[in-house]
Chain A
Amino acid sequence: MTEQLATHTKPTATDSQDAGVAIQPQPPAETAKEGRLEAVARGEVVPAIIDPALEDEKHVLEISNFNLWYGKKQALLDISMSVPRGKVTAMIGPSGCGKSTLLRCVNRMNDLIDTVRIKGDMLLNGDTIYAPTVDVIELRKRMGMVFQKPNPFPMSIFENVVYPLRIDGERNKDVLESVCERSLRGAALWDEVKDRLHESGLSLSGGQQQRLCIARAIASEPEVLLLDEPCSALDPIATGKVEDLIHELSGEYSVLIVTHNMQQATRISDYTAFMYLGQLIEYSPTATMFTGPKLKETEDYVTGRFG
């Protein structure tokens, strides 16, 4: 609870400094780095600082020189990053920095928006995501996604979990039941709902609903799990449960999570990427990121001095 409060109050407490940081570079000593955010604000492409530790990992997802425009406005600038397999990777950054956009690009959810235009590519386990020949439906089946607000379907808990199998045409009751149990256990929800699998998914509490969505997302054994601020609509207790769950999922699943909550990033992630105004600024192991970041800007952000 206190942690929650702390994260919520910190940015507001530094509100007044915020403008100052953006306009005036801070300590004069490190001039080389000072220009970085300014340059980003001017729209220049600034190369990201990526920790060498990442190169030793096996990568499930590789993003290379990815650009995205909403109409005429460019939202992502030349992003290149690799998401390690079996690890939790958090994306942080101030609102509007493009982290959710990037996440939604991974399973091509942005295709649903007419004005979106992209350049660059992503590779999922070596397969291209953005070639014109790619079957988007098949691609999305290889990933699971959980959204900011819990969005269980208006059907029973059981049907919610096996939905990905249903649309694949799976009819075998034994398969469906075993997948349902495995997914619900995986989402740490089994014990709470095992006696009422045929009640509506909407009858659950908010935290349970979100874990139901996670169960749904892992039902089809995704290669990568995309979480878009999964705890932002939940109370601290439910948040704690979902965080524990994400922690347990790491190792088995590769998780890419967008979060506004710095503490959450430290608690659950192995790697953290800091984004700012559509660019990747720094990408390091979480421990490095929060204790000794390579960039002053990153330190300012993670300690709540701006953003």
Chain B
Amino acid sequence: MAALELENVSIRIGQARILNDVSLQVPAGSFTCLLGPSGCGKTTLLRSVAGFAPLSAGDIRIGDRSIAGLPPERRETAMVFQSYALWPHMNVGENLAYPLKLRGVSRGERERRVAAMLERLDLAHCAKRPIGALSGGQRQRIALGRALIIDPPILLLDEPLSNLDAAIRRTLRTELRDLQRRLGITTLMVTHDQEEALSLADRIVLMRDGRIIQVADPETLYTAPADLDTARFLGVDNLVPEGGATLAFRSTQAHAGPRALHAGLRRQGRVIDSTYAGGAWRIRLAVAELELTAMGEASLAAGTPAWISVPDHALMRFDAHRDAA
């Protein structure tokens, strides 16, 4: 059953169409990522669920309740912002307690729940600290706790990890995933980072130009993108025209070397250059009028002949008419 449902949602600002007839069902308990290049409408879609982007047409439902006409404060969605958006005039404990205060929860109950949340976030010692004294990772954890403390039916995450440095981002990613699994809370997250989407989500909604292009689980999306543009966005960097179709593959799944391997696609060319890519060499080859890239165990001198071999399972075929569409 869909916990959250968008039906023919369109959003226009002036003449610009930000979202174009978008329909989406978010299953209960799922972790769904909205993925796409910047300007594709993914953040607007998330904000429309929270009530910050008014719809030009369509409907949004949580369960069987339409929320499209409700102001943000009555939607019961909990959102975590990219900038954390913690309230600087309140300390950590007060930030966590405020949503409960708004719901008329008694002081004793508030204190109990704030303490439990801080315990869960592993920040029990921070209750009295001002927001300014926290690190970025701690701030984002508090922001997450503030959203979860009201037990919302839907958790909305707007690029929650993109302001953090790489190491903390990896840790928090794991924490986020564990927390989401444990609570079973329906989660909708916006990201432009495909690695993040692939590792966190159990469903990915790929968007482009205000439309949904593909909805799939991470593996399907990665191995069978709906069209060539999607494939390119997901890191498919080699295109080989063949007949009326285009064969596409990732450099990382192709092999370059002095001899051809037994593979679905084999082409001979000349080495343009080799660069070390950690563990292997990334080798650029000129194959007829094409330029292809593949990985090799050793560096190859520029100008020497070499083979590029791509295994069957790494090849994606796109028909010309679908590419044009």
A, B assembled together: no
- Residues of B at the A interface (CB closer than 8 Å) are none
Which residues of A pack against B, CB within 8 Å?
none
